[in-house]
Structure 1
């Protein structure tokens, strides 16, 4: 499997707080029901369910019902005990002491070796896991001591967020470790639910584990609904109608339907941050955007404040960085580092770069028209489509021809890494650690590596190399500077920090950056 840049759109990496855990102004919940079914709408099919290949946000939403990580995420974003009860951190290693009561869904005991096998499988070059170098740092190795109940994760050099990487790593155990082919349409984890039926394109059904007793904040399986159904509903309006009618219990909303639901009585509502909207320029040898003058001119031609409002349907805020709140490194890496809006200067810059307007108004150089193929995900709501249309119109005014191409999430990896047939791509980023971006923003280009945009920014790479070995505030300063280096070079253009509406009816639950805190799911009677 090729490394898939669609991983950046994934809530997989996120650990920011969010949920539908009845806010103060929500209707009072009725008594908890453990015999019914909690139904949640997801926008597209998750594809293969092996955690080592899970790169789409929807895939990891599904996986979060069935798998645990070494550490959970507390309300403030910090690590809290998970299947590990404690840990000892060194600059280049972290040793976890495992809980003794954790079992896999097949009844087998979860061991330290299970954790080590999970990590080492991802790090094995033959596996070609797309989350290696992202969730599992490059060069990381795992060593287990089952007698002591400990597992140590180590890196060749000091790694500034070595503990935090464990928050997003799903641990495989039981039969799934022996035969990973079973994980394509099944689950084998220690989470509070186990997959019982996979109907691709329709729905995924999970059954509660009543013996589960190691959830966040002491969560157990005794109050969980008997079943959870993740129903595929690509259209947000349809999902909203189903929610109002009571046919589903919850869904997330990016687009205009969120306004209707926010005003609907009986609906519980929370607005968590969900990641950033930005676009990348393809810098391959045969692409116009390989020239930094072209990238900066294209960026100057856009009013990013207007674009932010359009992309988020007025519900976002201007971008201030690449990492989702609560960020480990506080600060604004964007302001003052992105080319300012100036359409006249943009046109002049293209002239100076040799791109001259023809009789039809479209610029050309050496007989080749300045044509950009702009990709975006159709599952990201009408705001993103409107944003790309706005970009196309703005670029047309300065003599650029734009071809818009909307794709389903499941087709993005192929377009980005295999065919490489794109020039600009609107790609949501949902990460909680700056280290999770490095493999996508530097290193070998696709298809040999995860660097899908063929970026080559020496200053970014130098700053990252220093930051990865530097803990604390000094390291954070370097991480923020590394982001700014990308923006100054117009390698990628940050536009908006998004929120979404998590809406529920007759149910409560918490989500953490698009992942279920699965032991918190409750089905209530009444509204």
Structure 2
């Protein structure tokens, strides 16, 4: 069948381990090397014999370094990458994907596409059980997707189901079931879309775990009962949840009755690490796997340990600075364009990544078949930035700070602690914008607080975060007007009718060439409107201890996907 996937975006904190002082742009450039950001590489461990005794003694437990997850351990509410790791381990989805992004069987052994490409019928595995001992059936699948349609659902994944026939009647009316979700028998279920929806398959893909109705059932309109179980997740995945120690670790143990065979590792601990401790934990053997920024200094330290392997690949995502477009300071796109021209993004990328990233210009990543390369790159141009600000009515005062209608151009910037990425970004941004008459005041908070303030409360003027993108170029889940709600991913409030029109065209056709034309137009529009300042598109790197076998991570396959086959030496 044709590949038909929808974008699921989850917030990911870009952490760092080595501080790089901000130098002159030319000096930074001398230290960088340009690499092919579409290539992958694996740096094998040079001397596995150097594995610390601490790690050797740990025979039955894999320790993975993560940023502290907020604790939304639920398939339809997990927002951060680290919450999603827990979801992936505890819950299983209908399908997964291979390294090229093509869908593969999971809880569904096979599926059919009929009714003019509008009906997806999934044939489920028999004999699958949830960790509470209950059988997995089509009713659990129907419950999970009906929960996403619930009137009280306030999470980030509503766009996954809004195209199912009967969604509106259930969400906003008196319907007692979603018309397009049909349980045919215990092992067969179908989903019928209102119209052709090209990205449909991703709604059934990896990370959208199936919840047992017996554990999570709730009366229509009272989803709080489901949310109350965030810290007691129950699924059919390879691991079972044990406990969560806020700010410290998440403990899991294997599901001995996992449908795909007993996992080879008994226990997994997701241990909270940060910029100051990541490499130290890896080198000492206290952590077996962690996501480390792909920078020369980091790679040198990891290679020096001898027993660590580096898996480096293009990250399907990007870093960005987001505007709260409800703030009148940012209402004029000339202001947004000026702030983009006025920030030397190349200097930041060179200073921080030293060749392992490029300046980003689009929400659709360079690894995607839909990427549009012919975009305005907004190369650093102080004069152009000042001209645009003048045209927008922001004039420099006697103190050098611009003002308009009696208001100083002062921006409160919400960002996060514990990251050298941020430590590098702050002075460069402040200095560059001061030159064009804009004052920036950073407010540093824990990442979980940042996520809540931005996504749930939308209490910010400016923020910086990053998106980990899914396979399909669809962006309605991030930039769509319908996502401009508390808990939605359009936290900045980008409300552009032409953008929505193009994005809806992009999901209404399955021909890839035609879709590419639509997404090219959309990228050019967003490149002009700039709801974000697109920052960087980087390589991602996981450092993996030599004691860990069969762990292969790539752009579309994270470390959890085939965890049941991973072994400890």
Q: Same fold (TM over 0.5)?
A: yes
Which region of structure 1 is more displaced relative to structure 2, 485-494 or 248-257? 248-257
8 Å Cα contact 1:372-1:402 kept in structure 2: yes
Deviation for aligned residue 1:373: 1.7
TM-score normalized by the length of structure 1 = 0.86
Deviation for aligned residue 1:104: 1.0
SS in 1 for 2:152: helix
TM-score normalized by the length of structure 2 = 0.80
Deviation for aligned residue 1:371: 1.1
Deviations 1:117-168 (A, max 9, x none): 10110121212222211x4455565524352622222322211111133213
Q: Cα RMSD over matched residues?
A: 3.0
Q: Which residue of 2 aligns with 1:354?
A: 393
Q: Which residue of 1 aligns with 2:130?
A: 104
8 Å Cα contact 1:373-1:424 kept in structure 2: yes
Q: Which residue of 2 aligns with 1:399?
A: 437
Give, in whole Å, the separation in 1 of the partners of 2:518 and 2:83.
Answer: 32
Give, in whole Å, the separation in 2 of the partners of 1:315 and 1:82.
Answer: 34
2:323 paired with 1:281: yes
Q: Which residue of 2 aligns with 1:410?
A: 448
8 Å Cα contact 1:18-1:270 kept in structure 2: no
Task: Give unpaired runs (5+ residues) of structure 2.
Answer: 1-7, 14-37, 168-177, 218-224
Give, in whole Å, the separation in 1 of the partners of 2:152 and 2:40.
Answer: 38
Matches within 5 A, 1:95-244: 95-133=121-159, 135-139=160-164, 143-145=181-183, 147=185, 149-168=187-206, 169-173=208-212, 175-178=214-217, 180=226, 183-214=229-260, 220-222=261-263, 224-233=264-273, 235-244=274-283
Give, in whole Å, the separation in 2 of the partners of 1:24 and 1:292.
Answer: 48
2:81 paired with 1:57: yes
2:337 paired with 1:293: no
Distance 1:181 1:313, change over 3 A: same
8 Å Cα contact 2:292-2:541 kept in structure 1: yes
What is the count of residue pairs matched by the alignment?
501
Give, in whole Å, the separation in 2 of the partners of 1:503 and 1:103.
Answer: 34
Give, in whole Å, the separation in 1 of the partners of 2:69 and 2:331.
Answer: 34
8 Å Cα contact 1:464-1:479 kept in structure 2: yes
Which region of structure 1 is more displaced relative to structure 2, 433-442 or 275-284? 433-442
Task: Give unpaired runs (5+ residues) of structure 1.
Answer: 1-5, 12-16, 215-219
Deviation for aligned residue 1:34: 11
Q: Which residue of 1 aligns with 2:561?
A: 517
Give, in whole Å, the separation in 1 of the partners of 2:325 and 2:45.
Answer: 49
8 Å Cα contact 1:510-1:520 kept in structure 2: no
8 Å Cα contact 2:40-2:314 kept in structure 1: no
Matches within 5 A, 1:271-420: 271-274=312-315, 275-284=317-326, 286-312=327-353, 314-319=355-360, 321-323=362-364, 326-327=367-368, 329-333=369-373, 335-378=374-417, 381-417=419-455, 420=458
8 Å Cα contact 1:374-1:425 kept in structure 2: yes
Deviation for aligned residue 1:486: 0.7
Q: 1:46 aligns with which of 70, 77, 83?
A: 70
2:132 paired with 1:86: no
Q: 2:496 aligns with which of 457, 479, 495?
A: 457
2:481 paired with 1:443: yes
Deviation for aligned residue 1:361: 0.5
8 Å Cα contact 1:442-1:455 kept in structure 2: yes
Give, in whole Å, the separation in 1 of the partners of 2:370 and 2:241.
Answer: 39
